Structure 1
Amino acid sequence: MKKIHIHEEYCIGCRICEIMCLVKHSRSGKIIKAFKEEPRPLPRVRVEEKEYISFALQCRHCEEARCIENCMTGAMYRDEEGVVRCDEEKCVGCWMCIMSCPFGAVTREKGEKKVASKCDLCAGEKLPVCVANCPNEALTYE
């Protein structure tokens, strides 16, 4: 299975990955509307910075995914391609996935329904938008 790889030595902390992820998962898919007119979704990638190092953090789609193991409703599951996904209809907001993720990659969506939110590798896209729009190629999809 292909995964997003982080090359922190190339990351400049520009946060374009966060912005494009937010736009991709917005209702309209348009940058101005996503920021000004719609309830803003959380980006499913987050840039972490400490001194001179910055890197994008998103779901690693672990082989032994603790989020799946600890999900009491089965909302967290692995699809046929090996991608760890969240079924928002099954999610009850217990946050076991958030507490069990060793990378802090699962977050709480702040929309009307309180559900878990995580990287879905931009289902339906040839390349995740964070990777496609990274100006320094700090993110690769291999």
Structure 2
Amino acid sequence: MPKEVLINFDRCLGCLSCKLACAVAHSREGDIFKVVLGGERPQSRIFVHQAGKIKVPLNCRHCQEAPCIDACIAGAMHRKEDGTVTNVGGEQECTGCWMCVMVCPYGVIRSDEEGLKALKCDRECRDEEGLPACVKACPTGALLYTEVDEFSSRRRKSFLERALSQMF
């Protein structure tokens, strides 16, 4: 089963470390000091929003039934062998028609710096161990790169431990 970037909402502080790490990982320089000193303005592919009292990091979910792939008129949006959905490196070029933006249920596709092509999480930021930059940068462990079943199992165990501790 493929790994996904999943969120422990109760751990997110809204510090934006994930956004910064994502932007730097996708920059030409790949180093925060060179990016700042060089005046480059890389764009993050993760968004952090406030929903009530909860901070919510959002990025592409690489949906099984990805509406962005179906809506892409140019045919640039496609699924890679590892399961990620991207519009980079395929047979066609993104034309900037924004159909993917209109159908994305999470609102996590944006335009690139020039406003010409769609930009989204492509998971091309993984390090040697396969960990995405946003997950690696998260100081509280709010972002996890894990299999869905493993994440779900941990959540159940945590819930049961809390429930039992309140009973006794």
TM-score (norm 1): 0.92
1:81 Cα offset (Å): 1.3
Long gaps (5+) in structure 1: none
> What is residue 35 of structure 1 aligned with on the other side?
36
Q: In the aligned structure 2, how far is the partner of 1:82 from the partner of 1:132?
A: 20
Who is 2:136 aligned against? 132
Paired AA for residue 9 in structure 1? D
Deviations 1:17-59 (A, max 9, x none): 0000000000101113323424312100011113421021100
Instruction: Look up the match of 2:7.
Output: 6
The alpha-carbon deviation at position 86 of structure 1 amounts to 1.1
**Could you tell me which residue of structure 2 aligns to residue 119 of structure 1?**
121
Structure 1 segments (4+ residues) deviating >3 Å: none
Q: How many equivalent pairs are there? A: 141
Q: For 2:10, what is the secondary structure of its paired residue?
A: coil
Q: Partner of 2:58 in structure 1?
A: 57
For normalisation by structure 2, the TM-score amounts to 0.78
The answer (yes or no) to whether the contact 1:27–1:38 under 8 Å persists in 2 is: no
RMSD: 1.6
3-state SS of 2:11 partner: coil
Give, as a single letter, the amino acid of the residue that structure 2 aligns with 1:140: L
Q: Is the 8 A contact 2:126 2:132 kept in 1?
A: no
Q: Supply the distance in 2 between the matched residues of 1:49 and 1:33 (Cα, whole angstroms).
A: 31
**Is the 1:58–1:119 Cα contact (8 Å) retained in structure 2?**
yes
Q: Which amino acid aligns with 2:14?
A: G
- Of structures 1 and 2, the larger Rg is shown by 2
Letter in 2 for 1:130: C
Q: Report the Cα distance in structure 1 between the residues aligned to 2:49 and 2:135, rounded to whole angstroms.
A: 16
Structure 2 regions of 5+ residues with no counterpart?
147-168
Which residue matches 1:82? 83
